[in-house]
Structure 1
Amino acid sequence: MQNKSVIFTLSSVACAMILVAGGYFAGRYVASAQPSVPQVAGTASLPSAGQKVLYWHDPMVPQQHFDKPGKSPFMDMPLVPVYAQDNQRPGLAIDPAMQQSLGIRFATVRQTEVQTRMEVIGTTQFDESLAEVIQTRATGYITQLYANAPQQRVHRGDPIASLFVPEWLPAQEEYLALKRGGLGTAILNDSKAKMRALSIPAELITALDKTGKVQNNLLISAPHDGVVSELNVRDGAMVAPGQTLAKINGLGKLWLEIDIPEALATQVQVGMQVVATPANQPNRTVHGEIQQILPQINGSSRTLQARLIIDNANDEWVPGMLMRVQLTKTAGKLGLLVPSDAIISTGKRTVVIVRNHDGRLQPANVTLGGEVGEETEILSGLQAGEQVVASGQFLIDSEASLKSVMPRIDGAEAAVNNSPTQGSVSAVRQHPSVDNTTLIKTYQSTGVIEQVTPDSITLSHEAVPALQWPAMTMMYKKPASAEFEAFKQGDKVNFSFIADGDGWQLTRMTTAGGAKP
């Protein structure tokens, strides 16, 4: 009986082992019958829960779509999913980790009292209202010139020149003869009037009356302290009536003439506060306010000139000094300010990239006011408290064009108008091999030629941040077989390329030193 129990126990154990082994092999068979799922490194290719995947793609070859995840056939990286939500919601969603790697920085639109302020250039000039012009009213000769060079400093009463006028002699001799003859006062007064009509100065007539001698020379003196800014005669020169002998400019006051760029001309007003600093002496300043705006744009410099008078009683300043000038409008107003780095000007419009309430990014058209330090006033297009991208805009633009979820910053409007955007900051241009209404983005890099074939060139090149490409070796198609014939294996080159169907095509290539265009 005991032997039967042992045999039964051993039989039960054997059956259990057979069942376990059968289950193991059956499980292996069922597992092998299921389709295998490719193992993809990283988590970027795994779809998020609750989101519908439209397709997978390689961000470096965004034109090629795949219907399932896996490894990119083009690069050593996993395919990236594109979700339906990305195409349905406005703007571009960028992972916070990628934002950090791209160096994206945000700034808040702030409302504050804005004063019109601009930085311009000015120069000190003679105050022409203090200038005295020395002229002669009769034909004569310079017998002696005391001020013998321009820019010579003079003081009030200093002699400038001695003038001999022959036609004054007969009138003086006639007066002396009448006086010696004892004729009446009325006749003498008539003779004096005749001398005044000949432009004989009153001081010469007085000297003639006192000394009883003919005055042969007229001494011309400086009317006030200043500088001989013009000297138009020399010793012995003959002068005619109305001829300018010299010009004396005073130095007690100077003009500060400010050059306003034509684009800022409408913002300048009389009464704006001025703080001027000499270019080579930053610790000295001049304070004042604009007193006059000249009514004409300078044709050569395309600037509008504003003027104010600065005191120079202590000879602190000299004409011709270059000044850095800060202009400020006294009355402030409420306005919106953003960092100047946040603004992108395409030539046809001005935009900033705004972060929506859900964190997505999209461009907004704005109208600019003046600059306030490192910030710029926004007249329309934004509201206080909104957040804008202050750095990394162009990388965002590249990411948006790869994912096709946000209009190109500089290309959307141009595409509508069938005309390329001029002066674009994102390097959009027209390529000669495509239709004139098609806008193509051009990328640049530097690398070394590894192989040249009739249809392609293989390059080992540096990273391309705009496409988030690391340094790599890649084949690029030629526009034509005859292109780039001067280049050979081993050349270090700067090159430009565009997306072309399912690959990339070279558009321009030069050696790193600038040869072989």
Structure 2
Amino acid sequence: MLAAGAPLADLLVPEWAAAQEEFLALARSGDAELLAAARQRLRLAGMPATLIARVERSGKAQPTLTIASPISGVLQELAVRTGMSVAAGATLARINGLDSVWLELAVPEAEAGVLAAGQTVEARLPAFAGEVLTGRVAAILPEANADSRTLRVRVELANPDGRLRPGLTAQVRLNRASEQGVLWVPSEAVIRTGRRALVMLAEDAGRYRPVEVRPGQESDGRTVVLSGLEEGQQVVVSGQFLLDSEASLRGLVVETTATPEPAVDLPALHEAEGTVVEIGDLSVTLAHGPFRTLGMPGMTMSFPLADPILQQGLKVGDRVRFAVRESDAGLVVERLEKQGDQP
């Protein structure tokens, strides 16, 4: 750590010695006009006013200039060594000021669609328990980490008292500007059957009713409900699968938000998320996450497509959410859609 004004290096400028000796000689002569001209020559030679004043006070030539840190911060690089020559304009040192600091985040790629420059962030540091610091997204770096499937995001935090130091860790929460006016439910409350999404609506007298909903973005254990529910309605979070099974046995009608489709006996669909690795004539290779309903871990594999139209607009590198069904030929892709705002 450096304080503002801390010395960094002493530079010897031999050319200054002769100019300073001439200046001192004129100072002893008492000729004010010539002395002013000599002082101007010192300024034109690049000498700071403080050094000129020190030479005049001491009466001795001082061709050595001490370079001081203009700000307080962390010394990132010192590019000079004892005895080396430096050219005019060369960088002598790099200092990272600590009035504001960067907090680097690793954000899951599934959240990429909701990231935006200027977005507010809440940070909690173990070093300052109980405090919540607020910052803004300064930059979203263009490369993703292929191993962790995360994006690097830089958040700028104000640090007026200098407490935040390089190397500290933090837990953060991204605040979405669109959260107000959006209906959220716990993700556990959403039952995904492969063909539709349901929630179990709690009614009076201990009754429950299945309702079809249209889910949106999922984050932090919560899912946006775009349609099908109203604010204030209560949904079942735990045990909804048992209730859904009982509703099916009793033949209860699910309240839908769209025109109901005729019942067709189709194999169950299994959903996962992945990234397009290769596109074939009637197949697609995906690096996908786990199929929880199949107990199948994430891996990279090729899937046949149920319909070639699923390839339209698809390109290598796209992040997708897809659903497969089991068949004699293996797992066949029945549904495939891009995630987020991808071109």
> TM-score scaled by structure 1?
0.41
Shift of 1:393: 4.6
1:1-400 superposed matches below 5 A: 153-182=1-30, 184-251=31-98, 253-257=99-103, 259=105, 261=108, 263-264=111-112, 266=114, 270=118, 272=120, 274-278=121-125, 280-281=126-127, 284-290=129-135, 292-294=136-138, 296-300=140-144, 301-313=150-162, 316-328=163-175, 333-343=180-190, 351-352=197-198, 354=200, 364=212, 366-369=214-217, 371=219, 374-383=221-230, 385=233, 390-391=238-239, 393=241
Shift of 1:334: 4.9
- Opposite residue 410 of structure 1, the aligned amino acid is L
Distance in 2 (alpha carbons) for counterparts of 1:156 and 1:339: 51
* SS across alignment from 2:185: strand
Aligned residues: 269
- Opposite residue 351 of structure 1, the aligned amino acid is A
Distance in 2 (alpha carbons) for counterparts of 1:247 and 1:349: 58
- Opposite residue 188 of structure 1, the aligned amino acid is L
435 and 176 in structure 1: CA distance in 2 versus 1, 3 angstrom threshold: closer
369 and 286 in structure 1: CA distance in 2 versus 1, 3 angstrom threshold: same
243 and 344 in structure 1: CA distance in 2 versus 1, 3 angstrom threshold: farther
Distance in 1 (alpha carbons) for counterparts of 2:27 and 2:168: 58
Distance in 2 (alpha carbons) for counterparts of 1:307 and 1:317: 12
Distance in 2 (alpha carbons) for counterparts of 1:257 and 1:435: 43
CA contact (8 A) 1:156 1:224 kept: yes
Distance in 2 (alpha carbons) for counterparts of 1:392 and 1:303: 37
Distance in 1 (alpha carbons) for counterparts of 2:224 and 2:305: 39
Higher relative contact order (CA 8 A, sep 6+): 1
Distance in 1 (alpha carbons) for counterparts of 2:265 and 2:186: 23
Shift of 1:164: 0.8
Shift of 1:190: 1.8
Residues 1:441 and 2:321 aligned together: no
Q: Which has the larger radius of gyration?
A: 1
- Opposite residue 352 of structure 1, the aligned amino acid is L
Shift of 1:284: 1.0
Shift of 1:360: 10
Shift of 1:193: 1.5
Q: Percent identity?
A: 27
- Opposite residue 323 of structure 1, the aligned amino acid is A
411 and 270 in structure 1: CA distance in 2 versus 1, 3 angstrom threshold: closer
* SS across alignment from 2:159: strand
- Opposite residue 161 of structure 2, the aligned amino acid is N
Gaps of 5+ in 2: 145-149, 249-262, 272-281, 297-301, 308-323, 332-343
* SS across alignment from 1:243: coil
Distance in 2 (alpha carbons) for counterparts of 1:389 and 1:216: 78
C-alpha RMSD of the superposition: 4.9
370 and 379 in structure 1: CA distance in 2 versus 1, 3 angstrom threshold: same
Shift of 1:165: 0.8
